[in-house]
């Protein structure tokens, strides 16, 4: 079965509940040492598996290898014979040590890296710009007016800044369509800090990055904690890989496995399905993948529908684990 596409916020941009995060296509360029360098054929396999599984959108960024991820995405989509307009491309402007003028100055570089594909969603990567939120939103509105981008989103914005961005764009007749934030069954901070509440109130889609907490919700590190040691780059030092943290989240993995056994699905697929289902259509997810099989499995999370009882059970187990983690 194929789940229907969803609108990004109050826009005409329609995406599958699962997209593909493309940070891992940075090829270790610049400061991006977080992921291993991928063979071009593996990148092609990852994107092909995503497309075959019903994924219709891809999220990349200027910061991902200084445009390397954007270029790889364009190369592979062209090789796959996908024409502009057949799928949705999202990218992000890096604001660190820059002002809003950089948005206008760098947009042609973003378009060149992604060519011949256009930018359906352009996002402020984080709130660390030297410019005010107003200046950034006014620059974004100018890019929409000039036809350079189709819609505006933000990333890592708190509730107050997200509300401000929405208000400024609304005054110009534009919606803020999304806020891309870290969100998973074992990282539910946006439910406590007002971000999710504000997004739902304003009709802004939450784009959940790290929806599997970088593989933790697959259960493989709970089954074999020694696997943490072979992770590439600084990733292995994240707190949720510690043995104590794995023990605290083990009940979540056990619940995912239980439901997955009934659904003939993996724990990761159940975790993704919970995330894009529990809040209706207001959340979409962008898991990454460094292997073709991972991408195929992520897309297959859209092949079943969890019952309300299953969704609520995972919610309860997750909340209990969160309380344990906070002690």
DSSP track, 139-180: HHHHHHHTTSBS-EEEES--HHHHHHHHHHHHHTT--EEEEE
Domains in the chain with CATH codes: 6-218+266-306 (3.20.20.100)
Place of tokens 């699962």: 18
Do β-strands 176-182 and 205-209 pair in parallel, antiparallel, or remain unpaired?
A: parallel
223 pLDDT above the threshold of 80: no
Length of the chain as a residue count: 327
Torsion of CA 76, 214, 209, 254, to 10 degrees: 120
pLDDT band at 234 (very low <50, low <70, confident <90, very high): low
Reading the block at residue 147, the tokens are 């036809």
Name residues whose C-beta falls within 8 Å of residue 245's C-beta, 6 or more positions apart in sequence.
Answer: 239, 325
Mean pLDDT along residues 49-76: 97
Report d(CA 207, CA 115) in Å as an integer.
24
Instruction: Return the sign of the alpha-carbon dihedral for residues 211, 269, 82, 150.
Output: negative
Cβ–Cβ under 8 Å, residues 28 and 37: yes
**Three-class DSSP category at 266:** coil
Mean pLDDT calculated for residue range 145-154? 98
The rounded distance, in Å, linking the Cα atoms of 324 and 327 is 5
* Residues 285 and 19: beta-carbon distance below 8 Å: yes
pLDDT band at 225 (very low <50, low <70, confident <90, very high): low
User: Is the pLDDT score of 245 beyond 80?
Assistant: no
**What burial class does residue 99 get, using C-beta atoms within 10 Å of its C-beta: 0-12 exposed, 13-18 middle, 19+ buried?**
middle
Beta-sheet strands, E only, within 199-300? 205-209, 283-285
pLDDT at 214: 78
The answer to whether residue 236 scores a pLDDT higher than 50 is no
Q: Which of 34, 64, 117, 241 is catalytic?
A: 64
User: Whole-number mean pLDDT of the chain?
Assistant: 91
Q: What is the mean pLDDT of residues 92-112?
A: 97
Question: The whole model's pTM is what?
Answer: 0.94
pLDDT greater at residue 235 or residue 83: 83
Q: Hey, which residues does 69 pair with through a beta bridge?
A: none
Is residue 64 among the annotated active site residues?
yes
């Amino acid at each position: 079965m194929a789940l229907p596409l969803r609108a990004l916020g109050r826009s005409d941009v329609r995406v599958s509940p699962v997209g593909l995060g493309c940070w891992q296509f940075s090829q270790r360029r610049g400061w991006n040492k977080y992921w291993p360098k991928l063979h071009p054929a593996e990148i092609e396999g990852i994107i092909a598996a995503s497309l075959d599984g019903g994924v219709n959108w891809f999220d990349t960024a200027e910061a991902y290898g200084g445009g390397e991820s954007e270029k790889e995405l364009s190369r592979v989509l062209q090789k796959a014979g996908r024409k502009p307009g057949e799928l949705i491309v999202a990218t992000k402007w890096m604001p660190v040590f820059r002002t809003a003028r950089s948005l206008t100055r760098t947009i042609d570089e973003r378009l060149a890296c992604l060519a011949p594909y256009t930018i359906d969603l352009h996002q402020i990567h984080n709130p660390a710009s030297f410019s005010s939120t107003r200046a950034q939103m006014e620059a974004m509105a100018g890019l929409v007016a000039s036809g350079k981008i189709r819609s505006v989103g933000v990333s890592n914005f708190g509730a107050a800044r997200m509300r401000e961005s929405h208000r400024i764009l609304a005054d110009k007749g534009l919606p803020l369509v999304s806020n891309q934030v870290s969100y998973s069954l074992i990282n539910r901070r946006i439910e406590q800090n007002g971000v999710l509440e504000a997004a739902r109130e304003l009709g802004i889609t939450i784009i959940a990055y790290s929806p599997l907490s970088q593989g933790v919700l697959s259960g493989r590190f709970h089954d074999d904690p020694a696997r943490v040691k072979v992770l590439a780059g600084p990733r292995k030092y994240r707190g949720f890989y510690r043995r104590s943290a794995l023990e605290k989240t083990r009940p979540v993995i056990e619940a995912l496995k239980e439901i997955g056994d009934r659904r003939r699905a993996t724990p990761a697929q159940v975790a993704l399905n919970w995330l894009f289902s529990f809040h209706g259509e207001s959340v979409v997810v962008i898991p990454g993948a460094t292997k073709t099989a991972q991408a195929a499995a992520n897309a297959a999370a859209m092949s079943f529908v969890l019952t309300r009882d299953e969704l609520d059970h995972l919610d309860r187990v997750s909340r209990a684990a969160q309380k344990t983690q906070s002690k």
